[in-house]
Every structure is written in structure tokens, then in C-alpha cells.
């Protein structure tokens, strides 16, 4: 009979495999291209085969296998994939697979599964890499049709981090003012002033960042266009070298480069993607939507610690502020687990602890300043 520690390991492995299978099922359903859909379906089937092994081990030890309930992190990923498409969560899935690729390495009864899990991580990473570049052969001339959506994962990450910045910065600001012994009205005014100032600053910074990136990209593309016009042989040679670096033999690379160079627009598009690493249709995104998104997400995060002082005051207001901020930090930590490959509980606890320590420090500093200035 297996020990309690082993039974817990079997149960945990079973839940992980079933969660992964459910996620890959969702990705397969959201995928429009047949070949990509088959990849996700095969990954889901492989995860179920692994789950069957762990379920069999549990049954062999007299443990009843209950109907699986998908974990919170996987449910979030499935909702996002259904709402925004598989590209929206693809990088997060890849990060999670890479983090878990060696999870069976120290389990002697899972040697075969360990090799398969590493293979799964490589497959998903390959899908992400293919989103960044072009395929071989004749398809190289046209960029991968599913290249465009990968930036969405970064958009989601930026939104979560923007909310985190707003929450932590305003939470610390409010705790500093509260520690100084300020009245509730002053604390509330400080909180909403911090919300507006911080959100405006974030929006302006994001607008400037994206605008500058777009202007630089346009200048680089203009130079590339000029080089195509005046030095076509050199550009054709560059293309051939790029494709050789991707694994093509020299003759095929030169053939593909020559074919692409027959169409100047296609050549410029390809060089922009391959040499400059830019998507000519996006050029870093829209600065206005980026600014608006930064303003909104920062404001949402900053509103959480301030809202308690709309109806509470004194110690009660501070306690409610701490509780609401803690819940907000836990939620943000859960979302960050989509990107860092760590567990939702670990990420949530870490986020709460860091936020509370920072707020505690500013509260203590506020108390010292309040005493010295009074």
C-alpha cells in the first residue's frame, strides 16, 4: 500500500493532468486552424492518459476517485481563451508548461510521463515561437496568420500590472497619511488625489512610450524601404542569411529570398518582421487605447484601498482598507500566476505579504512624521 504522502502526490498529479486536459480542450475549441486544433486535441488526450495512470494508482490503493473540479487558475485561463481567443493566453500556457516540464523528474514511477511532459512544453513553446516568425518553404512569403494576436497576452499582463501599481501605490499612500493621524476626510481626499494623479501619470507615460516606439518603427521601416530601393542585392542576401539561420539549406534560402524580392511590398513586410522584429500592421499598438487602458486599470486598483473611507472612518476605516486591499492583492496575485508559472495560492500569498509589508512601512513612517510634526 502506498503511504499518505504518496497518495497525496497521486491526487495532486491527477488534478494537474485533468486541469491541463481541460485547458487544452478549450484551446482546441477556440482554434480555427485544423492543424493547430489537432495539436491541442492531442495534448489534451495525452494529459488524460497521464490522468488515467494516476487515477488507477489511487484505485489500486482503495481510494475513490471523485469527479474532478477544475482549479481556479485553469478556470480563469479557459474564460479568457473563450472570450479573447487562444492567442490571448498562449504565452501563459507556455510559461506554465515550461515551469512544470520537470515536475515528474524526481518521481521514479513517472519516468515516461516526465519525458512526455518535457515534450509537451517544447510543443507549446514551438507554437509561441511560430507566432513570432515565419514558416519554411513557400509559406514564408506570407506571415503566419495567427502572429497578430500574441501581443494580447502582453496586454493582459500590462493591465494586471497596472491595477497592481494603482492598488499598491495608493494603499501605501493612504496608510502613510492614516499613520500620521489624519482625519478620514483628509485620507479620502488623499486617496482620490493619488488615484487621479497616478492614473494620469501612467496614461501619459504609456502614451509617450507607445508613440515614441511607433515613430522609431516608422523611421526604421522607411530606412528599410530605401535600402530595398537602392540596394536590392544586399537585402536579398540578408533575407537568405535570415532563412539559413532558421534552418534552411543555403540553396533553398536563396530561392525563397529571390521569390520574395520579386514583390517589393512583400519584401518590405518580410524584412520588417524578420530583420526589425516589427509587425507593420501594429507598430507597437495604438497610443490612445494604451493610455486609456493604463488609466482605467490603475484607477481600478487605486480605488480599492480608498473606497472604505467613503463609509467608514478612524480605525474601522483603516481596518476595512487593509482587508479590501488584501483581497485585491490576492486577486492580482492569482492573475499574475497566469504569467509566472507559479501556483495561484503561492502568487496570491506572496502578493499580499509584499503589499502589506510596504503599507506597514509607510504607516510606520507616517506615524513617526505625524508625531514629530504635531
The domain segmentation of the chain, as residue ranges, is: 4-106+115-129, 150-210+286-373
* 137-185 residue pLDDT tens: 333 333 333 333 334 445 566 677 888 899 999 999 999 999 888 888 8
Are the C-beta atoms of residues 206 and 294 closer than 8 Å to each other?
yes
pTM higher than 0.85:
no
Grid coordinates representing 316?
Answer: 474601522
259: left (phi over 0), alpha (psi -120 to 50) or beta: alpha
Rama region for 327: left / alpha / beta (φ>0; ψ in -120 to 50; rest) = alpha
Does residue 353 register a pLDDT over 90? yes
Model pLDDT for residues 244-275, shown as the tens digit of each residue: 777 777 888 788 878 888 877 777 777 777 66
Backbone conformation region of residue 182, classed left if phi is above 0, alpha if psi is from -120 to 50, else beta: beta
Distances (CA, A) of 24 to 30, 185, 333: 10, 51, 23
Residue 323 — very low, low, confident or very high, per pLDDT cuts 50/70/90?
Answer: very high
Amino acid at each position: 500500500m502506498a503511504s499518505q504522502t504518496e497518495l497525496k502526490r497521486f491526487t495532486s498529479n491527477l488534478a494537474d493532468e485533468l486541469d491541463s486536459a481541460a485547458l487544452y480542450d478549450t484551446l482546441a475549441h477556440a482554434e480555427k486552424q485544423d492543424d493547430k486544433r489537432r495539436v491541442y486535441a492531442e495534448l489534451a488526450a495525452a494529459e488524460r492518459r497521464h490522468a488515467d495512470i494516476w487515477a488507477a494508482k489511487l484505485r489500486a490503493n482503495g481510494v475513490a476517485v471523485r469527479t474532478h473540479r477544475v482549479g481556479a487558475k485553469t478556470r480563469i485561463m479557459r474564460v479568457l481563451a473563450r472570450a479573447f481567443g487562444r492567442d490571448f493566453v498562449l504565452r501563459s500556457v507556455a510559461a506554465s508548461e515550461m515551469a512544470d516540464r520537470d515536475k515528474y523528474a524526481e518521481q521514479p514511477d513517472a519516468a515516461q510521463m516526465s519525458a512526455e511532459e518535457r515534450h509537451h512544453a517544447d510543443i507549446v513553446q514551438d507554437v509561441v515561437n511560430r507566432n513570432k516568425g515565419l514558416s519554411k518553404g513557400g509559406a514564408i512569403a506570407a506571415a503566419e496568420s495567427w502572429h497578430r494576436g500574441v501581443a494580447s497576452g502582453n496586454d493582459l499582463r500590462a493591465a494586471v500590472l497596472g491595477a497592481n501599481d494603482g492598488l499598491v501605490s495608493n494603499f501605501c499612500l493612504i496608510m502613510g497619511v492614516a499613520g500620521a493621524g489624519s482625519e478620514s476626510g483628509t485620507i479620502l481626499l488623499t486617496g482620490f488625489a493619488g488615484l487621479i494623479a497616478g492614473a494620469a501619470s501612467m496614461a501619459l507615460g504609456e502614451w509617450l512610450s507607445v508613440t515614441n516606439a511607433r515613430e522609431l518603427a516608422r523611421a526604421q521601416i522607411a530606412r528599410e524601404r530605401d535600402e530595398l530601393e537602392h540596394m536590392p542585392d544586399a537585402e536579398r542576401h540578408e533575407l537568405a542569411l535570415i532563412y539559413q539561420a532558421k534552418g534552411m539549406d543555403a540553396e533553398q534560402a536563396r530561392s525563397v529570398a529571390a521569390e520574395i524580392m520579386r514583390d517589393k511590398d512583400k519584401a518590405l513586410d518580410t524584412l520588417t518582421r524578420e530583420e526589425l522584429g516589427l509587425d507593420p500592421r501594429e507598430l507597437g499598438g495604438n497610443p490612445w487605447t494604451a493610455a486609456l487602458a493604463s488609466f482605467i486599470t490603475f484607477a481600478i486598483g487605486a480605488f480599492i484601498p480608498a473606497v472604505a473611507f467613503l463609509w467608514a472612518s478612524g480605525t474601522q476605516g483603516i481596518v476595512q482598507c487593509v482587508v479590501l486591499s488584501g483581497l485585491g492583492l490576492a486577486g492580482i496575485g492569482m492573475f499574475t500566476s497566469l504569467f509566472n508559472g507559479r501556483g495561484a495560492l503561492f502568487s496570491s500569498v506572496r502578493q499580499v505579504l509584499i503589499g502589506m509589508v510596504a503599507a506597514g512601512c509607510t504607516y510606520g513612517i507616517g506615524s513617526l512624521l505625524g508625531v514629530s510634526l504635531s
